[in-house]
Structure 1
Amino acid sequence: MAFKSLLASLVVVVAFLQASQAGVVNKRKTQCPGGSVHQAFNPACCTWFDVLDDLQTNVLFSTCGEASHSALRIVFHDAIGFSRTQKFGGGADGSIIMFGDTELEFAANNGIDEIAGDLKTVADAHGKSYGDIIQLAGAVGVANCAGAPRLSFLAGRPNATAPAPDGTVPDPFQPVDTILARMHDAGFSPDELVALLASHTMAAADKVDVTIPGTPFDSTANVFDSQFFIETQLKGLTFPGTGPNQGEVASPLVGEMRLQSDFALARDHRTACTWQSFVTNHTLMNQRFSDAMDKLSVLGQNTRHFLDCSEVIPHPHSLKVIPHLPAGKTMADIEPACAATPFPDLPTAPGPATTVKPVPPGS
C-alpha cells in the first residue's frame, strides 16, 4: 500500500510539473494598454516599455556610443557606495541622482553629472525611482553594443534616503591591494571585479585627461568583445622624467587610454589568470559579466517584492568574435602574467599600425 501511495504521489507531481511547463511554454504576451506598440508577458512591466522608448530616443540614441557608455558607468558608481563591514550606503539605490548635489561633487564621479541629469528627467517623467532608472539604462546601454550579453532588470527599488559617503568608488591610481580591499568590503571577489571590468570593452575616458576626451580603453569601443583584455596585456610605454605621470605605463596604441589600475590588475597574481581567461572565451566573459552585474544591480537591496521586467531589455546584436592583436603588434609585444597557463596565440590584424579613434561626444 505504501508503494502504491508513493507511486500515486509521483504521478501527481509529474502531472503538475508537466502542466506547469506547458503553462510556461504556452504563455502568450498581452497587448500593453494606451495604444502601445509593445506586448508583455507580464502586464505589470508595460510601463517600462514606455521608459525604454524614452531612453532610446532621447538619451541613449539606440547606439553603443558615449551615452550608453555613461549609462553603464553610473550603474557601478551608484551601487558601489556600500559597505558590509561599516554598514553604510544603500548600494544600488539611485543616491547618486537623489543626492547629486553631494555625490556628483566627489572626484571619482567627475563626468557623471550629464547622464545623471538625463536619467533624472526620464525617471521623473514616468514616475520611476532613480535606482530603477539607473539599472534599466545600464542594461539597455549594454544591449546597444553588439556582442554584449542581455542583462536582467528587476524593478522595485525605493528611492535613497541618504547619500553614499565619499571614497567608495575605487580610484584608477590606487594600488591593487586598496582596490581589492574596497571591492571585498562591498562583497565582490577579485574574479568578480575582473568580470565587472569587462565594462571597459565599451568605455571611454573624458575626465582622466580632459585634453583628450572620449578616449577609449580598447580599439573596439563600439562593440562588446574581449579586445580590452588583450590590449591591456601589451607591453606599454613608461612615462619618464619627474612629472606627475612618472612611472605610469601608457597604452602603446595611439589614441587608447590605459588606466593604471587596469594595467596592474592584468598583471597581479590574484587576477591575472581570470583576466587572461576572457581573451579567447567571449561566452565565458559575457556570462561572468552578467553574473557580476546581477549581483551589483541589487547590492544593498531587499529584492523580496521586486518585479522581474527583464523582458523589456532589447536583445543585443550578435557579433562574430575573432580575438586578435592590433595591427602592427605581434606576440612578442604581449606581456603574459598568468603563471598557470600560457597566453593564447593570436593572429595580428592586417594593415598599418593601429590608431584608435575617440568616441564622438553626444553619440
Structure 2
Amino acid sequence: MGFLRSRRIRWTRAIALGACMTLGAPLLAACGSGSDSGSGGRQVVVADYGGVTDEGYKAAYFKGFTQQTGIKVVTASADMARYIAMAKAGTSQWDTIDADGFAVVDMTDRGLVQKLPDSVPRSDTVTGKYRDYSAGGYTQSFVLAYRKSAFKTAPTSWADVWDTKKFPGKRGWPNYYIGTAEAALLADGVQGSGLYPLDFDRAFAKLDKLKSSLTIYDSYAAVTQGLQAGSVDMALLPNGRAAVLAKDDPDIAIMWEQNIFYPWSGFTIPKGAPNAEGMAKLLTYMQDPKRQAAFAEQTYYGPTLKAAYDLIDAKVAAELPGTPEHKALAVTVDTPALAAQTDEYIKRYSAWVAK
C-alpha cells in the first residue's frame, strides 16, 4: 500500500467500477484513461502513485536498471480498479502496480496475477504462497505525529488521542480509511493480538466520539500541511511523511507506541502484461539489499529484505518501521484478514466521513 500521495485511494474505485471487470478488452478504455499503454520489448510500465515513493523508485531502482539493461521504465498514474480490470481481461497495458499487501492477497486469490519466475528473489517479508506472486516493495507504519510544544506530556497510546481533556486541540485525520478503524479499536482497549477481524461497529462508534475534534483532510499531503501550519496539533500519518516533518521541524515528534505496522507491499505481474519478461528482470534488480537500503534512506519506508537494514544509515534506520525497537511497539496488520474486509472497510469509512 504508500504511501504516499493518493496511494490506495484509487482502490475504492475497484468497488465503484466493479462492472468494468466483466468487460472485454475493447471496452477497457471506459475503465481508465491515459496514454501509457505498454509496448513490450524494450520498456516496462510501472503504475505508481507519484510523490516520494516514485522519486525513490527512480533514484534507487529505475535509473540504474535502464543503464544496466537498456530497458526503459515508464511510469503511469496508478489506478487499482483499472489494473484489476485489465488483468481480468488478460490484456494489461501495465507490467506492474505499486500495491499494498492486502491488495496483492486479493488479486492473487482471484487468479489475476502471474506466478513469478524462479529468477526473482523471494522477499523476506511477503508471507505464505504470496511470495511466489509478489516481489517485496517496502514496509510502512501508520503513526501519530504531534507537536511537542502543544502538550505538557507526550501521547503514548491511541487512547491518548481520544483523551481530549488531557490532550486538547484539533487532530488531523485523512479522508481515507487506512489505519483508522485499527486506531479506534486500540483506543477502545482492544489488544493488538485480537484486532482482526476488525469489529467495525465498535470502531465507528469510537470514531464518532472523536469526530468533533477532527479536521478531516482530502489527502495525506494536506494533513501534513495542517500539522506544519499548526492548524492541528496531532495527526494520523504514514511514517514516511511523519519522518520528513520531524526531520525539518524539531517541534514535531512521532509516537511509535502502537504504530500500525503494514509488513509488506508488493509488485505483481498481471495476467496479460505487455512485457512480463522485462518486468521480472526489473523485480530481480529491485530485490537487492543495497538498492532497497538506498530507497529506504530516501523515503523512510522500510526494506523487505532483512540484509538491507545493515546497509542503512543509522540515523535513518532509527526512524524506519520494522526495526526491532519499533516492531516491539507495533501492532502488526494481519494482511489476509484485512484483505477479506477491505471492501466493507472502504464503504463504512466513506459513509462515516460523509455523514
TM-score normalised by structure 2 residue count: 0.27
Structure number with the bigger relative contact order (C-alpha 8 A, sep ≥ 6) is 2
Higher helix share: 2
Higher strand share: 2
